[in-house]
Amino acid sequence: MTNKKMFLLATLLVGALILAGCPQPTPVVQTVKETVIVTQTEEVEVEVVVTPTPVPPVQGGVWVEGSSADASILNPILAADAASFDILGWFFPGLLGQDPFSGAIVPTEMAESWDVSEDGLVWTFHLQDGVIWSDGEQVTAADFKFTYDAIASDLVETPRKANLDNIESIEVLDPLTIRVTYGEVKCDALNNLGLGWLPSHLYAEDYSDVMDTPLNEAPTVSAGPFVFNEWMRDDNATVLRNDTYWKGAPNMDGWIYKIVPDPGARLAQLQTGELDLIGVQPEQLTTVQLDSSLNLHTYKDDGYSYIGLNLANPENPQAGQDEEGNLIEQDPHPILGDLAVRQAIAHALDYETIISKVYLGQGYQIASNVLPAVGWAHDPSIQPYAFDTELAARILEAAGWTDSDADGVRECNGCSTAEQGVALTIKLQTNAGNTTREDLGALVQDQLNSIGFDIQFEAIEFGTLVQELLGQTFEMVIIGWTGLGTDPNDDSFWHSRFDTPGSGFNFVSYQNARIDELLDQGVSVPGCAPEDRAPLYQEIQQIIHDDIPYVFVTGSVGNTGYSGKFNGTDPGPWSFYHNIQTWSLAE
C-alpha cells in the first residue's frame, strides 16, 4: 500500500512507468527510495512500499514430448512401463506427493496429513476436500480403497501385488479419511501407497471389468491437470487442460506425447521446435549444449542400467512360490543357470570402456542393487566385477565349457547345467530405438564372443520386449530401472513371491531363501531406524553381487533437453513437470 506521505510522488512515478510502456515487474512487494521535500531547505529520504500490479500469465500453447516408445496401457495398477506412466500420470490422483528436489514424501497430493499409531501398524490419512473428477464426481477415500482392493482381486493380474505387502485392512472412516492397518511393521509403507487411484464409480463393484474395460485405452475422467483426448498407438497421445483441476487449471491448452523411434529424428525435431522435450542420449549432449535455443537438465537418476539374466528355463516359466508360500524348485536355464557362466559374463565386460564410449561418461560403475544415493543403506565396500578376460576364460574352462572343435564357440563338455555338446549360445535383447542400449548390445556381443560365447543380439519393439520379460520367455536383456525412490527396499525385483510369470518384476526368476528372509526383515524392523535396517540391506547387496542375477552396468545419469516455449519450468531430479499447471507461454 502506498505510504500516505508519499502518495503523490509515488503515484506519478508508477503512472509514468505504465504510460512509457515499460515492462511491469513481477507481482512481488518492492521497496522504493524517494526524496521528499519537507521544507524549502530540508530534504529527507524515506522508503515507500509499492506493490506492482500482477501480470496475468499468457494462456495457450501445447507442449510436445518426444519418446522412443509408446505406452502399453493407461491404467495405473496394470501398467509396468515408464511410457504408460508418462501419460496416465496426468489423470489419476495419488495419495502422496514427492518433493521434486529431495525426493522426500510430502503432503502435496490427496493426503494433506496423516497420523501413525505408536506401534507403527495403523496409518490414518486425512484427504484434501473439494477434489473432483472431471465428470463432477468427488474424489473420495472410496476410490483409494477400490484401487487397492482391485489389486488384491484374483480377477486382476497386475505387477502391483507387492504394493499390498503386509496390509491387513483398508478402511474408509468417512469420505475424507482412510485407515490402513498393517499386520507387521512396514518401514517403506508410504512408498507402496503412491499408485494412482481409479475412479471407482466407473467400474463394476466386483472388479470384473478392470482387465478389459475400454477405460484402459481411453480414460473418460481425470482428477489431474489434464484430461484424455486421443491415443493413436505408435504415433501420439494428446491430453487437454482440465479446467476443474484442484490445484488450478494449467495455462497451456494441452500436452502431446509423440512417438519418434529414431533418436536422431527426436533431436532434429527438438531443434526445429516440433518437439519441446526429449531424453538426450550421451552422443547428443554437445549438440544440445551448443544450441542457444535449448535448455539442458542433467541429474543423477534414481536408477541403473543392467543386463538381466533369466536363471530359469524360458521354455518352462514357473512361479517362485506355491499357494502356501513354499519355494518351487525352478527348471534352470541350461546355460545361465550355471553360476560359472554368470561369473564369466561379469568379468568379460569392459565397464570402463562401456561407460566411456557407450554412455560417453554419463554413468558410474555400481556393484550391486542399492545406489550410493541411499547412503545409509549402500555398502561401498562391495567392489564391482573387474574386467579380466583371462579370468573369465579360466572360469568357463573349469566349469566344463570348452571349445573342443575349435570353431570359436564353447560347448558343454561336462558342465553342470546343460546337456553334453550344447553350445554357449544365448539370445540377448533390448528395445529398439534406444541407441545407447543398442550400442551396448553390440559391444557386449563382441566382448562375450571374444571368449567363446555365441551371443545372438537383437533390438525389438518395446512393448514386445516387455511381454517377453514379464512372461519370462527371454534369455538375456539390456534394460534399466528408474524411479527407485529413496528407500532401499526393492523386494519386487528379488523376492521369490514376485516371480510370477505374466506379471511379476522378478522376471529373472531369482530364488534365494536367505534373500527372501532378509527382504522381509528389512521392512519390519521395530522402529524402522536406518541404522538397524542398514545391515540387512548390506547383506542383501553382497548376496546379489555374488549370485549375479543381474550384471550391473552403470548407475544412471539423466539428461533432458527442452525448449524455452514456456516460462516457469523448474525441473528437479525427481520430477520435471511438478509445477506444470503454473507454466505460461513465453511471448
Q: Which amino acid is at 420?
A: Q
3-state secondary structure of 127: strand
Q: Give strand ranges (E) for 254-333.
A: 254-259, 277-279, 294-309
Rg of the chain over all Cα atoms, to the nearest angstrom: 28
| C-alpha to C-alpha distance for 152 and 517, rounded to whole angstroms | 23
| C-alpha to C-alpha distance for 95 and 154, rounded to whole angstroms | 24
3-state secondary structure of 43: strand
| C-alpha to C-alpha distance for 155 and 144, rounded to whole angstroms | 18
Residue 458 β-bridge partners: 429
Contact criterion met (CB below 8 Å) for 134 and 223: yes
Q: Which amino acid is at 585?
A: L
Q: What is the pTM of this model?
A: 0.69
**Domains in the chain, please, with CATH?**
4-50 (no CATH), 62-276+564-585 (3.40.190.10), 301-558 (3.10.105.10)
The three three-digit cell numbers of residue 368, written as one number = 550391486
pLDDT in tens, the chain (587 residues): 433 333 322 332 223 222 233 333 333 334 344 444 444 445 555 555 666 666 788 999 999 999 999 999 999 999 989 999 999 999 999 999 988 987 778 899 999 999 999 888 999 999 999 999 999 999 999 999 999 999 999 999 999 998 998 899 999 999 999 999 999 888 988 888 999 999 999 999 999 999 999 999 999 999 999 999 999 999 999 999 999 999 999 999 999 999 999 999 999 999 999 999 999 988 899 999 999 999 999 988 889 999 999 999 999 999 999 999 999 999 999 999 999 999 999 999 999 999 999 999 989 999 999 998 888 999 999 999 999 999 999 999 999 999 999 999 999 999 999 999 999 999 999 999 999 999 999 999 999 999 999 999 999 999 999 999 999 999 999 999 988 888 999 999 999 999 999 999 999 999 999 999 999 999 988 878 889 999 999 999 999 999 999 999 999 888 999 999 999 999 998 899 999 999 999 97
**What distance lies between CA 199 and its chain's CA centroid?**
23
Contact criterion met (CB below 8 Å) for 328 and 316: no
Contact criterion met (CB below 8 Å) for 457 and 408: no
Q: Which amino acid is at 52?
A: P
Beta strand pairing call for 254-259 and 62-67: parallel
Residue 304 β-bridge partners: 481, 555
| C-alpha to C-alpha distance for 395 and 339, rounded to whole angstroms | 10
The three three-digit cell numbers of residue 70, written as one number = 509408446
- State the CB neighbour count (10 A cutoff) for residue 315: 9
Which DSSP string corresponds to 101-164? TT--EES-SSEEEEEE-TTS-EEEEEEPSS-B-TTSPBP-HHHHHHHHHHHHSTT---GGGGGG
| C-alpha to C-alpha distance for 312 and 327, rounded to whole angstroms | 14
3-state secondary structure of 238: strand
| C-alpha to C-alpha distance for 91 and 81, rounded to whole angstroms | 16
CA distances from 516 to 325, 415, 422, 495 (A): 11, 29, 33, 5
CA distances from 273 to 5, 221, 571 (A): 52, 30, 19
The three three-digit cell numbers of residue 476, written as one number = 538375456
